[in-house]
Each structure stands twice: as C-alpha cells, then as structure tokens.
C-alpha cells in the first residue's frame, strides 16, 4: 500500500535529531503547561511559534502538536493529585481522579491514565493516518461555494458549542472576520480600514493577537487572582501499579473514550473539553454501578482522559484536509504552517505529502516519548504545580514581549499584543469566548475569497448554488441546527452539548 | 462585590461594538460595492459590519435587564492591573534605548514586585535569571539580532 511506504519515509524523516528534539521539547513543555493551572495549550503554542521559524514547517508542526498533546497528558496529573485541573479538558478528571487519590489510589489512576492516553493517542493517529488522505481526496472536488458552506456550518456550530451564550460566540466570530479585513486586500490590492497608517497596510498580524488574547490576558488574570498554595499528594514509583481489577475495568472505557473522542474532535469548538464531558456521561450510563461515579470510579478517570487525547488527533483532520481549524490550538497551527509557506488543505497530500507523513510518524514517536516522560516523572510534574505565579508569570511576560518583537522586529506588534491582552482580559471576565474570535481572524481571508469567488462563479446569480448538492447539504445542516436551537425554548427544552469555554482554551 | 445594575461596563462594551458596526458599514460603503457579478472591495466588509451591528444590538437589548454583577476589579486589583500595563508599555518605549537585556531585567523585577513577591533576593535572582535566559535563547540559540542599547 502506498500509505505504508509514505509512512516509512515519514519515520525516516522524523528520526532526524532536530525533529526528535522538537518533539521532545514540545511534549515536555506541553506536559508542564498542562500541569500548570492558568496558561493553556493555545497560549503556549502561540508563544512557541516564533521559535519554530528557524526550522522547517514539519518541525514546527511536530513541536506544536507535541505541546497540545502533552497538555492533555499533563492536565490529568494536577486533576488527580491536587484536585485542580491544569487545563479545561481535565475538569472532568477531577471528579473521580481526586476521589481515587483520597483513597490512596492516585498512583494507579495516574498510571492507567498515562497508558490510556497513550492507547487513545495511538488510535487517534491511526484514525488520522487513514481518514485524512481519504477525506483530503474527497475535498479536492470542493469549490469556493462548498468551502463557504462548510465554513458557515462551522461558524454556526462553533458559536453554539463554545459559549454559554451563542450570541457572544457569533459576535466574536464576526469581530474576528472584521479584523482580518484590515490591510491591503490581496484580491484587488485595495487598502481597507488602514486610515492612512502604514503599519496597518500589511494587516494586523495573527501572532500578536493570539499571544495577547491567550497569553497576556491570562497573565493579567493570574496576577490579579489571590494565590492559594495547593497541597500536592506525594507519589512513589512503587505506587504506580494498578491492580488487576483496575486494569480490567479500564480496558473498554479506554477504547470507547478513544473512538468517541476522535469523532468529537471533528466538531467545531472546544472539542477536547466536549469529548471529556460526553465520554464521562457515556461511561456513567453504561456502568453497572453508576453510583460509584464521583466516588472514585476508575472508568470516570480513564475514559475522559482517553477521549481528550484522541480528540486532538480528530481535530487535526479538518485542519489538514480542508485547512479549516475548528479549535483555538489548531487555529494557531494553521497560522504557523502559513508562516512556513505551507497551506494545509486537500492539496497538502499532493504538494507536501512529506509534511503530513513525517508529522504522523513523529506523533507515533511523540506518544511513546510522552508515556516514558509521564510515568516516572509524575512526582516531579506534581511539584511543578506548586510553583508560585509570582515567580512564573514575570518570566512568561518577558518571553511574550521579546518573542513577539523578535518575529518581525516590530514594536507595533508588541503594542497590538498588549492591547489585545487588555481587551482579552475584559472579554474573559464577561464570558465572551476567545477561540471563535481567533478562528474568525485566521479564517477571515479564506471566507472572503470564498464569498467573492462564489459570486463570480455564479455570475451574481446566487440561486445557482442549488446546482451544488454538497454546498446545499452543508447549508441545510447549518439552517437545521439554527432552527432547532431557536425552536428549543418554545418547547421548553434546552439543547444539550453546551460547554462553557474555559479560559485556557 | 455584587450589585444590581442596568448599565454595566459590559453593556457599554456592547455599545462600543454597535458603534464599530456602524463605522464598518459607513467606511466599507465608501470602498464601493461593485456588483454581485464583480464584487468590489467594500461588499464583504459591509456584510460583516451589518452582522457586527446586528449581533451586538441584540446582545445590548438582552443585557439591558437589571442583573447582579460582579465588579471586574477590587481596588487593589485595579492598581495591580494598571501597574502591569504600565510596565508592559514602558518595556516597549524603553527597550530600543537601553537594549533588551537591561530592560528585561528591569521589567521582570518590576513584575515580581507588582505581583507582591516578598523580599529582594528572590526577585533579583529571578530577574537576573530571566535576562540571562532570554539573552541565551534569542542570541545564542536563535541568532536573532535584537536592540542591545547601552550594552552595545
């Protein structure tokens, strides 16, 4: 099979020192970020983006996915040991994880979660490996109207799933779309919303906005919070062995969580977070002893953790096959790939197949690295959780400042980052979701191109869209979802699957 | 501190977005719509502006009802917030003059004190450590030429 040959080449490419080191650094930093409450994977990936510029696109992609992946691994550590979720996708793990810790089974919980995450991650990569090229080929037939319809569907789902108030999500998306129109429009070289200011001619760069909204606003939030020293329960290596019963009870939840997480990962919005909630609910429903959930049921720990790991891989599919990111971290990845002059989408598999296959191979290796890293070092990671923010935040602030300046040697970018940070701080306080905004910014140019190209294709006759069945189906799905949402209050029912976006996403 | 209010900072923000929507509509009108057959540069932003106005208007109306609100800052928190922002801004203004290593040291020290890290030795050690780390990272590892200022 051609795929295996390409994967073999991918392994050879990924086994370079640079890629292995990038994978290791990504996984390590990701785990640390996952452990530390506050800074989330999106902020960290934006922060690390400038450092990947020196190396190729593949190295950059490997490092950033390593961060996202590592954060999913690390997040569970503090949930179980300290009852504080390191990031949003580990909130559910606290419920039963901390209860297990109180019963003296923290070591077993951590070990089962690490192995479960490894299995889920590996299954997720397999899913990506098989589905992505297939979907990429299918997407080759997509024209501008299909892209536009797909993005509209994504925006509708995104605004509904990423916030408690869908209106706020929608407003954030259109605000992001607006910001992307600032600067010279490449289609007709017309400067828009620049108001004669030279720095705005090239548009507002994505990176300072992302670092401001996710990084600086987070630093400000943490700086203003009252610090309560968490108590970490100590773990010894010999405590890490789960007993036979615990292993037996974990097998099926891990597999179910992995499969469920992968498919939830295909949804727009905070897919990793949603996957944990859905998977926990599913396990509770399937369990013969649902009363044990919340009291330290191992199924309630391992299934959500498996789900969030495979969700990461699931959400790589829309990014790599269509070039459409569905979550904050994948929006940063898209921006990163564009900085390396690689445009993800259906053409990726023909123009840059090495990027995809090296990435897949590196993820297999990264997953093994994370397992090796997490099991023996779990005690050390637990201790990182108690580093005081007064020590950590000043250092991160300075890395943000120097990092963003170094990308284009531009003080203007630093100003943009600070302003975005202040605005982001207030938006967080008022519960406006940030990820839809960032996705709006990064998808703005593609949306505009699709709108204009579709109109030109149809020679102004919008009704011609009826001849495009795929576009019509996608638009119908969006309309049906909106209709359900609007009609739900009339029947006194609330539409489920509403997950409040956490600050870290 | 929770209090009941009709006009909150949040509603004012919605109002600002409404005004932004109107500005986008007016400015993009000036760019020219073209036709549906050959869209001009103003057509797409006009629609975006209309959507910004539409969503913020509904949000503004929905949030007009009086409800309990938590103030964003405490008095002490507001001071910390302002001092943090001032330090960020000072870094931008002073960095090209004094160079990134010196300003990084000063800014880190300022941040640690604003965030109330006790004592002098610890903040000093963190500041020196950060300045050295940033110098090694950007200069030695990434070979990025940043303003060195007084350190030439």
- Alpha-carbon distances, residue B53 vs A414, B44, B50 (angstroms): 29, 14, 5
The pLDDT score that the predictor gives to residue A241 is: 74
DSSP characters for A321-360? IIS---SHHHHHHHHHHHHTT---STTHHHH-HHHHHHHH
Q: Quick check: A260 and A304 in contact, CB under 8 A?
A: no
Cross-chain Cβ contact B72/A429 below 8 Å: yes
Cross-chain Cβ contact A452/B39 below 8 Å: yes
The pLDDT score that the predictor gives to residue B70 is: 66
Q: In this structure, is the dihedral angle defined by the CA atoms of residues B24, B26, B30 and B33, taken in order, positive or negative?
A: positive
To probe the interface with A, which of B28, B45, B101, B122 has the most A CB atoms within 10 Å? Answer: B45
Residues making up chain A, counted from first to last: 505
Chain A, chain B: beta-carbon pairs less than 8 Å apart: 154
- Say how far apart CA A216 and CA A397 lie, in whole Å: 7
Residue A353 has a CB neighbour count (10 Å cut-off) of 16
Taking only residues 94 to 113 of chain B, the set having a beta carbon closer than 8 angstroms to any beta carbon of chain A reads: 95-96, 100, 104, 107-108, 111-112
Q: In this structure, is the dihedral angle defined by the CA atoms of residues A156, A318, A346 and A438, taken in order, positive or negative?
A: positive
DSSP characters for B35-68? -SSSB-TTHHHHHHHHHHHHHHHHHHHHTTS-EE
* A151 neighbourhood in chain B, CB within 8 Å: none
* A405 neighbourhood in chain B, CB within 8 Å: 95, 100, 146
Is residue B116 within 8 angstroms of chain A, CB to CB?
Answer: yes
Closest Cα to residue A417, out of A400, A437, A433? Answer: A400
The pLDDT score that the predictor gives to residue A340 is: 83
Q: Which of A393, A398, A452 sits opposite B134 (nearest CB)?
A: A398
Q: Quick check: B84 and B131 in contact, CB under 8 A?
A: no
In three-state form (DSSP H/G/I as H, E/B as E, the rest C), the secondary structure along A265-287 is: CCCCCCHHHHHHHHHHHHHHHHC
Is residue B11 within 8 angstroms of chain A, CB to CB?
Answer: no
- Alpha-carbon distances, residue A19 vs A57, A66, A70, A481 (angstroms): 11, 11, 16, 42
Residue A246 has a CB neighbour count (10 Å cut-off) of 19
- Say how far apart CA A338 and CA A357 lie, in whole Å: 18
Phi, psi (deg, nearest 5) at residue B130: -65, -45
The pLDDT score that the predictor gives to residue B112 is: 93
Q: Quick check: B62 and B48 in contact, CB under 8 A?
A: no
Cross-chain Cβ contact A401/B88 below 8 Å: yes
* A220 neighbourhood in chain B, CB within 8 Å: 81, 84
Cross-chain Cβ contact A452/B43 below 8 Å: yes
Cross-chain Cβ contact B130/A216 below 8 Å: no
Closest Cα to residue A77, out of A42, A48, A101? Answer: A101
Q: Which residue of A has its CA nearest to B122?
A: A391
Is residue B85 within 8 angstroms of chain A, CB to CB?
Answer: yes
Q: Which residue of B has its CA nearest to A223?
A: B115
Cross-chain Cβ contact B80/A451 below 8 Å: no
Cross-chain Cβ contact B92/A389 below 8 Å: no
Q: Which of A171, A190, A401 sits opposite B41 (nearest CB)?
A: A190
In sequence order, what are the residues at sequence separation of 6 or more whose Cβ sits closer than 8 angstroms to the Cβ of residue A290? A284
- Say how far apart CA A89 and CA A307 lie, in whole Å: 9
> How far from chain centre, in Å, is Cα A28?
17
Q: Quick check: A261 and A311 in contact, CB under 8 A?
A: yes
Q: Quick check: A176 and A444 in contact, CB under 8 A?
A: yes
What are the tokens at A17? 């020192």
Q: Which residue of B has its CA nearest to A431?
A: B10
Is A472 buried (19+), middle (13-18) or exposed (0-12) by CB count in 10 A?
middle
Q: Which of B51, B73, B133 sits opposite A174 (nearest CB)?
A: B51
Closest Cα to residue B150, out of B92, B94, B90? Answer: B94
Q: What angle do CA A495, A68, A312 make, to 5 degrees?
A: 45
* B134 neighbourhood in chain A, CB within 8 Å: 398-399, 402
The pLDDT score that the predictor gives to residue B67 is: 66
Q: Quick check: A337 and A215 in contact, CB under 8 A?
A: no
- Say how far apart CA A379 and CA A205 lie, in whole Å: 40
In sequence order, what are the residues at sequence separation of 6 or more whose Cβ sits closer than 8 angstroms to the Cβ of residue A493? none
Q: What angle do CA A19, A360, A356 make, to 5 degrees?
A: 90
The pLDDT score that the predictor gives to residue B39 is: 85
Q: Per residue of chain A (505 residues), what is the pLDDT tens digit?
A: 567 788 888 888 888 888 888 889 998 988 888 887 667 788 888 888 877 877 888 888 888 888 888 887 888 887 888 777 777 788 888 888 888 888 878 888 888 888 898 899 899 988 988 888 888 888 888 888 998 998 899 898 888 877 678 889 899 999 999 999 999 887 778 888 888 888 888 888 888 998 899 889 988 988 888 777 766 666 665 666 788 888 888 899 999 999 999 998 888 877 888 889 889 999 988 888 888 888 888 899 999 999 998 998 898 888 888 888 888 888 888 888 888 888 888 888 888 888 888 888 888 888 888 888 877 777 777 777 777 888 888 998 998 899 889 888 889 999 999 999 999 999 988 888 888 898 899 888 889 988 988 988 888 888 888 888 889 999 999 999 888 888 877 776 554 444 444 444 4
State the ipTM, two decimals: 0.91
- Say how far apart CA B66 and CA A278 lie, in whole Å: 35
Q: Is the pTM of this model over 0.90?
A: no
Q: Quick check: A115 and A371 in contact, CB under 8 A?
A: yes
Taking only residues 28 to 57 of chain B, the set having a beta carbon closer than 8 angstroms to any beta carbon of chain A reads: 28, 31, 35-45, 47-49, 51-52, 55-56
Taking only residues 19 to 78 of chain A, the set having a beta carbon closer than 8 angstroms to any beta carbon of chain B reads: 51, 54
Closest Cα to residue B26, out of B6, B49, B3, B10? Answer: B49
Q: Which of A165, A170, A402 sits opposite B104 (nearest CB)?
A: A402
- Say how far apart CA A462 and CA A455 lie, in whole Å: 7
What are the tokens at A472? 């019509």
Is residue A405 within 8 angstroms of chain B, CB to CB?
Answer: yes
What's the Rg (C-alpha) of chain B? Answer: 24
* A418 neighbourhood in chain B, CB within 8 Å: 85, 88-89, 92
The single residue listed with the structure tokens 């913020």 is B56
Q: What angle do CA A200, A202, A206 make, to 5 degrees?
A: 90
Q: Which residue of A has its CA nearest to B132?
A: A395
Q: Which of A395, A402, A460 sits opposite B126 (nearest CB)?
A: A395
To probe the interface with B, which of A152, A392, A402, A408 has the most B CB atoms within 10 Å? Answer: A402
Cross-chain Cβ contact A193/B27 below 8 Å: yes
Cross-chain Cβ contact B115/A389 below 8 Å: yes
Our CA-based measurement puts residue A391 at a distance from the nearest CA of chain B, in whole angstroms, of 7
- Alpha-carbon distances, residue A217 vs A212, A223, A502 (angstroms): 6, 10, 13
* A456 neighbourhood in chain B, CB within 8 Å: 37-39
Q: What angle do CA B69, B74, B78 make, to 5 degrees?
A: 115
In three-state form (DSSP H/G/I as H, E/B as E, the rest C), the secondary structure along chain B is: CEEEECCCHHHHHHHHHHHHHHHHHHHHHHHCCECCCCECCCHHHHHHHHHHHHHHHHHHHHCCCCEEEECCCCHHHHHHHHHHHHHHHHHHHHHHHHCHHHHHHHHHHHHHHHCCCCCCHHHHHHHHHHHHHHHHHHHHHCCCCCCCHHHC
State the angle between helix axes of B100-114 and A389-408 in degrees (0 to 180), rounded to the nearest 10: 150
Cross-chain Cβ contact A394/B77 below 8 Å: no
Is residue A402 within 8 angstroms of chain B, CB to CB?
Answer: yes
Cross-chain Cβ contact A188/B24 below 8 Å: no
């Amino acid at each position: 099979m051609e795929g295996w040959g390409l994967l073999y080449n991918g392994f050879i490419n990924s086994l370079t020192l640079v890629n292995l080191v990038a994978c290791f650094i990504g996984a390590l930093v990701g785990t640390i970020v996952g452990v530390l409450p506050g800074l989330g994977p999106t902020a960290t990936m934006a922060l690390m983006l400038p450092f990947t510029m020196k190396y190729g696109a593949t190295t950059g992609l490997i490092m950033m996915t390593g961060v996202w992946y590592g954060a999913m691994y690390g997040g569970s550590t503090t949930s179980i040991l300290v009852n504080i979720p390191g990031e949003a996708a580990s909130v559910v793990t606290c419920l039963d994880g901390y209860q297990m810790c109180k019963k003296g089974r923290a070591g077993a919980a951590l070990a089962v979660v690490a192995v479960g995450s490894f299995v889920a991650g590996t299954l997720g990569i397999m899913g990506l490996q098989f589905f992505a090229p297939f979907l990429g080929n299918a997407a080759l037939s997509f024209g501008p109207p299909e892209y536009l319809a797909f993005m509209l569907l994504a925006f509708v789902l995104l605004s509904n799933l990423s916030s408690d108030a869908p209106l706020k999500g929608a407003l954030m998306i259109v605000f992001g779309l607006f910001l992307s129109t600032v600067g010279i429009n490449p289609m007709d070289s017309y400067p828009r919303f620049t108001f004669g200011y030279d720095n705005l001619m090239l548009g507002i760069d994505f990176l300072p906005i992302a670092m401001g909204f996710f990084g600086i606003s987070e630093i400000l939030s943490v700086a203003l919070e009252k610090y309560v020293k968490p108590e970490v329960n100590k773990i010894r290596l010999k405590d890490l062995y789960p007993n036979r019963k615990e292993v037996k009870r974990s097998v099926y939840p891990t597999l179910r969580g992995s499969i469920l997480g992968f498919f939830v990962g295909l949804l727009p919005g905070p897919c990793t977070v949603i996957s944990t909630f859905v998977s926990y609910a599913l396990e509770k429903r399937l369990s013969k002893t649902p009363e044990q959930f919340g009291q330290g049921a191992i199924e309630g720990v391992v299934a959500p953790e498996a789900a969030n790991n495979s969700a990461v891989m699931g959400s790589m599919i829309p990014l790599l096959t269509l070039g459409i990111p569905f979550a904050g971290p994948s929006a940063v990845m898209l921006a990163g790939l564009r900085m390396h002059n690689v445009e993800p989408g259906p053409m990726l598999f023909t123009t840059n197949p090495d990027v995809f296959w090296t990435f897949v191979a590196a993820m297999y290796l990264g997953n093994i690295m994370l397992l090796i890293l997490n099991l023996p070092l779990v005690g050390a990671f637990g201790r990182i959780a108690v580093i005081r923010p007064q020590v950590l935040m000043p250092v991160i602030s300075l890395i943000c400042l120097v990092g963003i300046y170094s990308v284009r040697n531009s003080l203007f970018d630093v100003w943009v980052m600070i302003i975005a940070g202040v605005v982001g701080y207030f938006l967080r306080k008022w519960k406006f979701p940030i990820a839809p905004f960032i996705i709006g910014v990064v998808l703005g140019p593609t949306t505009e191109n699709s709108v204009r190209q579709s109109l030109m294709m149809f020679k102004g006759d919008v009704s011609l869209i009826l001849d495009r069945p795929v576009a019509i189906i996608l638009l119908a799905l969006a309309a049906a979802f909106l209709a359900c949402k609007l009609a739900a209050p009339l029947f006194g029912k609330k539409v489920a699957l509403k997950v409040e976006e956490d600050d870290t996403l | 501190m929770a209090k009941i209010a009709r006009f909150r900072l949040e509603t004012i923000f919605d109002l600002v977005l409404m005004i932004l929507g109107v500005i986008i509509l007016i400015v993009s009108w000036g760019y020219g719509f073209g036709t549906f057959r050959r869209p001009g540069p103003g057509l797409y932003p006009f629609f975006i502006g209309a959507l910004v106005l539409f969503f913020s208007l509904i949000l503004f109306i929905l949030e007009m009802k009086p409800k309990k609100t938590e103030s964003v800052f405490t008095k002490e928190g507001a001071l910390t917030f302002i001092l943090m922002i001032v330090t960020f801004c000072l870094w931008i203004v002073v960095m090209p003059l004094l160079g990134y290593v010196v300003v990084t040291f000063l800014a880190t020290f300022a941040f640690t004190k604003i965030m109330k890290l006790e004592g002098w030795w610890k903040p000093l050690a963190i500041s020196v450590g950060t300045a050295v780390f940033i110098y090694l990272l950007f200069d030695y590892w990434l070979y990025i030429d940043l303003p060195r200022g007084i350190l030439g």
